[in-house]
Amino acid sequence: MSWGFLRDLLSGVNKYSTGIGRIWIAVVFIFRLLVYIAAAENIWKYEHDEFECNIKQPGCENVCFDHFFPVSHIRLWALQLIMVSTPSLLVVFHVAYRENREKHHNQKLYKSPAELDGGLLCTYLISLILKTGFEIVFLVLFYKLYNGFKVPRLVKCDIRPCPNTVDCYISKPTEKMIFLYFLVATSCLCIVLNLSEFSYLIFKYSIKCYLKRYIKKRQ
Amino acid sequence: MDWGALHTILGGVNKHSTSIGKIWLTVLFIFRIMILVVAAERVWGDEQDDFICNTLQPGCKNVCYDHFFPISHIRLWALQLIFVSTPALLVAMHVAYRRHEKKRQFRKGDQKCEYKDIEEIRKQRFRIEGSLWWTYTSSIFFRLVFEAVFMYAFYFMYDGFRMPRLMKCNAWPCPNTVDCFVSRPTEKTVFTIFMIAVSSICILLNVAELCYLLTKFFLKRSKKAGNPKHHPNHENKEETKQNEMNELISDSCQNTVTGFSN
């Protein structure tokens, strides 16, 4: 069980997405998942070992590391990727439900089970809202937990058992900061894509509804 | 999810590329991605552990390492490879869009249908002309831009392509100017030069491909300008044969489509 599962899931969703949805999937695959696995994971690999405090007191380093990194950046990043990809499952389930219904009743109930109309459109829009919501929640979480997206070189720590205020040095702060900014940029891009897809679908279907009503009135 | 997935995606683009494009893809996968994964990652694997400064001052090593390596070579290469591979996706998306349109036409039972079945649409190789030419050419252009930007970033960040053995550091909290020693400098220099050389080869291949496409485009245009009206009686034998074949195929296609709807 690894990221391959997420890849398969997203490939499955690709079939039922709009054009903008497919661009979103490509951005998530290439600029978030691949960058995470190929580059980011290794930067944070030894973060605890390389976190150094100017003190010999046993336990001080552990306590300070835990205080400044309640949840590591890289774990938050992984959680964000998983949570943001999951709402697409709603669409997959709904299509499977439709196909199941057709099989059960042994007749064609829908023009095409994967066609975005009626209930499936609502599910799709809800999944877009959830995706955007999760992105924003995680960005806010990052911001609040780490006081912005900066990674300082030096942090001062005075928690027991550290005897006084002690200097602690974070490893590779610049590299971590660069990749954090990259994460924020791709998150924002994904939010923009989700919002445009949402507006596009609302616009398209309201025009469709309006035209239908107009034609009915004329008749 | 790893470089293998990228290989699958880009492999699909391979079918629709020019010969130079195919060579570029091979160079990318064998001499860059494979070397990165199999060799370079090991060389840089222990870079901070074995980066040693001549001081016992805690924190000095961390700070000096961060000062001299704001972003590690290996990460820069990984980013470069990802960015350089991405424009090929534009071509993949365009091809997928065209296929989708053809499938739609086929399903509607269009008169212009030239295919026996959906499998043939899936396996068809599109020629690089029309809007696909523009997509393909812009993807090559973006590739060139990304390669150049990353090579410049490399040169700028590391003051050239050599990895020095010794660096002198006096960032706080290092008490004075301290000697810091990089691990495996020669091996890293060798790999850096190798990656830069292969990058340059890729740039040359992209430039050659761009020139080839532009030359082809202008030659075609001048031919069209030279023959303003295509005289119907001047169709050569090959075109007549092709037209006959197309008629036969569209006839049998119509039969297949009526067969489907019955």
Task: Look up the domain containing A72 and give its range.
Answer: 3-218
A53, pLDDT greater than 60 = yes
DSSP-derived 3-state class of residue A1: coil
Is the CB of B5 less than 8 angstroms away from the CB of A6?
A: no
On whether residue B252 sits in a domain, the answer given is no
Q: For B3-54, what is the HEC assignment?
A: HHHHHHHHHHHHCCCCHHHHHHHHHHHHHHHHHHHHHHHHHCCCCCCCCEEC
On whether residue B114 sits in a domain, the answer given is no
Residue B169: in which H helix or E strand, if any? strand B166-169
Is the CB of A7 less than 8 angstroms away from the CB of B1?
A: yes
Is the CB of B78 less than 8 angstroms away from the CB of A38?
A: yes
Burial of B76 (0-12, 13-18, 19+ CB in 10 A): buried
- From residue B250, how far is each of B72, B101, B235, B262 by CA, in Å? 59, 18, 21, 18
Option in A4, A23, A54 nearest B59 (CB): A54
On whether residue B121 sits in a domain, the answer given is no
Q: How far is A89 from chain B (nearest CA, A)?
A: 19
Top pLDDT among A48 and A114 is at: A48
What pLDDT does B208 receive?
Answer: 95
Please give the mean pLDDT across all residues of chain B: 81
Q: What is the CATH classification number for the domain harbouring B210? A: 1.20.1440.80
Share of chain B above pLDDT 70, in %: 81
Q: Which residues of A touch B169 (CB under 8 A)?
A: none
On whether residue B138 sits in a domain, the answer given is yes
Is the CB of A7 less than 8 angstroms away from the CB of B66?
A: no
Q: What is the CATH classification number for the domain harbouring A58? A: 1.20.1440.80
Is the CB of A34 less than 8 angstroms away from the CB of B48?
A: no
Option in A34, A52, A178 nearest B6 (CB): A34
Residue position matching structure tokens 């990656």: B195
The residue among A30, A65, A167 with the most chain B CBs within 10 A of its CB, best to mutate, is: A30
| Predicted confidence (pLDDT) per residue in A138-182, tens digit | 999 999 999 888 899 999 999 888 999 999 999 999 999 999 999
Is the CB of B58 less than 8 angstroms away from the CB of A55?
A: yes
Q: How far apart are CA B229 and CA B237, in angstroms?
A: 18
On whether residue B254 sits in a domain, the answer given is no
On whether residue B14 sits in a domain, the answer given is no
Share of chain A above pLDDT 90, in %: 53
What pLDDT does B139 receive?
Answer: 93
On whether residue B91 sits in a domain, the answer given is yes
Task: Look up the domain containing B94 and give its range.
Answer: 19-48+74-104+126-168+187-223
B161, pLDDT greater than 90 = no
Q: What is the longest distance spanned by two Cα atoms in chain A? A: 87
Domain count, chain A: 1
Residues in chain B: 262
Give the dihedral sign, CA A137/A142/A144/A150.
Answer: negative
| Predicted confidence (pLDDT) per residue in B136-153, tens digit | 999 999 999 999 999 999
What pLDDT does A129 receive?
Answer: 96
Top pLDDT among B184 and B237 is at: B184
Q: Are B81 and B24 in contact (CB under 8 A)?
A: no
Looking at this predicted complex, what is its ipTM?
0.73
The one-letter amino acid code at B74 reads I
B245, pLDDT greater than 60 = no
Option in A39, A168, A173 nearest B75 (CB): A39
Q: How far apart are CA A177 and CA A188, in angstroms?
A: 16
Q: How far is B246 from chain A (nearest CA, A)?
A: 31
Task: Tell me how many degrees the CA angle B19-B23-B29 measures, rounded to the nearest 5.
Answer: 145
Share of chain A above pLDDT 70, in %: 99
C-alpha gyration radius of chain A: 23
Domain count, chain B: 1
Q: How far apart are CA A91 and CA A85, in angstroms?
A: 12
Return the bridge partners of A157, or none: A166
Residue partners of B203: CB distance under 8 A and separation at least 6: B144, B147, B148
Residue A134 in tokens: 């999760």
What pLDDT does B255 receive?
Answer: 46
- From residue A102, how far is each of A12, A89, A90, A97 by CA, in Å? 20, 20, 19, 9
Option in B1, B62, B93 nearest A33 (CB): B1
On whether residue B147 sits in a domain, the answer given is yes
Residue partners of A142: CB distance under 8 A and separation at least 6: A73, A76, A149, A180, A183, A184
- The order of strands in the sheet holding A166-169 is A52-53, A166-169, A154-157
Is the CB of A172 less than 8 angstroms away from the CB of B65?
A: yes
Residue B206 in tokens: 């992209």
